[in-house]
């Protein structure tokens, strides 16, 4: 027990400054994204020079909205947000339905997952991640009945995620549907459901998404192209191959900022989902390792804040949002390096686009909210030989 005391005393300063560290990492990633986007958008000079200014202006506007959202979510007590979670969930579901309404919904690459608002395309599924995390936290944080059967909070969560996943599958967004399902499984674990239930549910869900992918022609062709990538370099695997060429061309030190060749219309989506290979091509291996290190630091810091949350609600919110950003980062890096099938996941904080950026900054705001609400002397109860005692952090 003395070792535990010593551990908590030594980590006291880490607990105090983890919020500042989280903000510093997020702002660093944002800054890298701005520089990378400006460089990657250089290809538009060949079309219309003003398009670069428009692209950057839009991104700065999204950053401003995201930072404002971060501030708001850091100041409003997350317990109050939990009280509003049912209404927020309904709002998220309604926004997803709007994706199918003609004149409002906007279809991109075969997926009906966008709505047009004032000349901007917004992806409701990004914001619904926060809404569903808040809702699951509210109903599962104090659930006494650890059951998945009818009338239990876990059954309510199961029905809720089923509705959202169904809408996402219908819209053609299998990637987000899998993320939602993984968050549901995480909440089952955090809520105290036994692994003997969780593991079969996890396996069944992944198998279900795989079967659905095989039944959808566009998704099936992508999956088959991934399995035989070296035989389809000019087809469905073209984008990934160009990504690998970009990463390989950069070598250790890169070709120099602005000198990417692949961004000149060889690599599609070089400003969005495939911006990481452009960074690797221009700045080299060391830059990509630095970015991966920043993401690892972000996840560890956010996880630390979640671990030392003042209550179970804070732990659940922080863990779910940290996991969502972590899973999306892994998915993006997995796709651009050819380790996962091609799926449109933006790189958090860096890729061009607003919805995911605002979601990430909202998540940072909530994590700061959790960190800010810890009492001056955070106390953890530990048991030793049947007796409880407090350890001052």
pLDDT score at 216: 81
pLDDT, tens digit, for every residue of 17-47?
889 999 999 999 999 999 999 888 876 655 5
Q: Band the pLDDT of 386: cuts 50, 70, 90.
A: very low
Q: What DSSP state is assigned to residue 230?
A: G
- Band (pLDDT 50/70/90 cuts) for residue 375 is low
Average pLDDT over residues 287-295: 97
Pick from 63-67, 180-184, 232-236, 250-254: least confident? 232-236
Residue 215 has pLDDT above 90, yes or no: no
Q: Are 134 and 92 in contact (CB under 8 A)?
A: no
Q: Please give the model's pTM, rounded to 2 decimal places.
A: 0.90
Q: What is the pLDDT of residue 261?
A: 87
Run of H or E residues at 205: helix 195-215
Q: What is the DSSP code string of 271-306? A: TTTTHHHHHHHHHHHHHHHHHHHHHHHHHHHHHHHH
Nearest to 226 by CA among 333, 334, 329: 334
**Residue 52 — very low, low, confident or very high, per pLDDT cuts 50/70/90?**
low
Q: What integer pLDDT is reported at residue 388 of this predicted model?
A: 38
- Looking at residue 325, what is its pLDDT? 97
pLDDT given for residue 1 in this prediction = 45
Q: How far is CA 116 from CA 120, 124, 154, 275, 330, in A?
A: 6, 11, 34, 24, 28
pLDDT single digits (tens) 132-156: 999 999 998 877 655 555 567 888 8
pLDDT of residue 10: 61
**151 backbone φψ class: left, alpha, beta (φ>0; ψ -120 to 50):** left
| pLDDT tens digits, 230-288 | 777 777 778 888 999 999 988 898 899 888 888 887 888 888 899 999 999 999 999 99
Average pLDDT for the chain: 85
Residue 244's pLDDT is 92
Starting at the edge strand that comes first in sequence, how are the strands of the sheet with 111-117 ordered?
Answer: 105-108, 111-117, 120-122
Q: What is the pLDDT of residues 69-125, one digit of tens each?
A: 999 999 999 999 999 999 999 999 999 999 888 888 877 766 778 888 777 888 999
Q: Is the Cβ–Cβ distance between 26 and 298 less than 8 Å?
A: yes
What is the pLDDT, as a whole number, of residue 5?
Answer: 54
Mean pLDDT (whole number) for 177-181? 93
According to the model, what pLDDT value does residue 382 have? 37
Which pair of tokens denotes residue 109?
């690459």
Burial of 168 (0-12, 13-18, 19+ CB in 10 A): buried
Q: How many CB atoms lie within 10 A of CB 83?
A: 12
DSSP three-state, residue 191? coil
């Amino acid at each position: 027990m003395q070792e535990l005391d010593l551990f908590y005393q030594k980590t006291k300063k880490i607990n105090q400054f983890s919020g500042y560290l989280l903000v510093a990492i997020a702002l660093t990633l944002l800054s890298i994204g701005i520089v990378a986007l400006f460089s990657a958008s250089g290809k538009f000079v060949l079309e219309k020079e003003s398009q670069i200014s428009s692209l950057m202006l839009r991104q700065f506007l999204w950053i401003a909205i995201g930072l404002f959202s971060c501030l708001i979510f850091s100041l409003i007590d997350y317990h109050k947000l939990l009280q509003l979670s049912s209404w927020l969930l309904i709002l998220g579901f309604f926004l997803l339905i709007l994706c199918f309404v003609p004149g409002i919904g906007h279809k991109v690459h075969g997926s009906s997952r966008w709505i047009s608002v004032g000349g901007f395309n917004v992806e409701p599924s990004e914001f619904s991640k926060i809404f569903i995390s808040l809702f699951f936290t509210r109903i599962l944080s104090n659930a006494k009945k650890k059951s998945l059967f009818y009338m239990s909070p876990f059954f309510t969560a199961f029905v809720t995620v089923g509705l959202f996943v169904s809408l996402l599958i219908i819209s053609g967004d299998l990637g987000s549907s899998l993320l939602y399902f993984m968050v549901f499984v995480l909440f089952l674990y955090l809520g105290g459901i036994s692994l003997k239930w969780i593991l079969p549910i996890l396996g069944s869900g992944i198998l279900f998404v795989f079967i659905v992918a095989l039944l959808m022609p566009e998704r099936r062709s992508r999956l088959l192209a991934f399995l035989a990538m070296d035989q389809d370099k000019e087809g469905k695997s073209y984008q990934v191959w160009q990504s690998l060429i970009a990463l390989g061309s950069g070598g250790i030190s890169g070709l120099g900022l602005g000198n990417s060749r692949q961004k000149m219309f060889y690599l599609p989506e070089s400003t969005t989902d495939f911006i990481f290979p452009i960074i690797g091509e221009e700045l080299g291996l060391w830059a990509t390792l630095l970015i991966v290190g920043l993401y690892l630091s972000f996840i560890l810091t956010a996880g630390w804040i979640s671990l030392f949350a003042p209550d179970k609600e804070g732990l659940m919110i922080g863990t779910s949002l940290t996991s969502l950003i972590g899973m999306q980062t892994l998915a993006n890096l997995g796709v651009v390096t050819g380790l996962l099938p091609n799926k449109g996941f933006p790189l958090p904080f860096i890729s061009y686009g607003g919805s995911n950026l605002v979601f990430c900054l909202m998540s940072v705001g909530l994590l700061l909210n959790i960190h800010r609400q810890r009492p001056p002397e955070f106390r953890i109860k530990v048991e030793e030989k049947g007796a409880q005692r407090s350890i001052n952090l």
